[in-house]
Amino acid sequence: RKEVEQDPGPFNVPEGATVAFNCTYSNSASQSFFWYRQDCRKEPKLLMSVYSSGNEDGRFTAQLNRASQYISLLIRDSKLSDSATYLCVVSGGGADGLTFGKGTHLIIQP
C-alpha cells in the first residue's frame, strides 16, 4: 500500500520565524511530488510542485531526496496567513490519483 507520512503537528510558530516540514513516502517508484495547502473547511490547493533539483517560490522552498524518500518544505519569514494544513502529496505517474499525507497543521502566532 502506498503511504505518505507526515507529522500532524500542530506546529506553533511566531510570526517571522522559519519553519520546516518533512514527509516520507513508501513507494520508491513515485514520480511526482507536491505540497498542497488546505485552509479550514476548504479544498486543497496546490502550493508548489517539488522538483528533483529543489525549487523555490518566494518564501517557500521545497526539496526532494529520492534516496531517502523524503520531501521537505521550508517557509521563511512566516506570515499569519500561512496558518493552514500542509499536505504532502505523491504520485506514481499513473492515472490512479495522488496519495495524500494526512497533513501538518501550522499555526502562526502574532
Peptide bond into 8 cis (omega under 30): no
CA distance 84 to 37: 7
Smallest distance, Å, CB 58 to other proteins? 17
CA distance 11 to 82: 12
Tell me how many residues contact other proteins (CB under 8 A). Answer: 23
CA distance 81 to 53: 28
For other proteins, the closer CB: 25 or 34:
34
Phi, psi torsion values for 88, nearest 5 degrees: -90, 130
11 binds other proteins (CB under 8 A): no
For other proteins, the closer CB: 58 or 97:
97
25 binds other proteins (CB under 8 A): no
49 binds other proteins (CB under 8 A): yes
Residues near other proteins (CB under 8 A): 31-32, 34, 36, 42-46, 49, 51, 87, 89, 91, 93, 95-98, 100-103
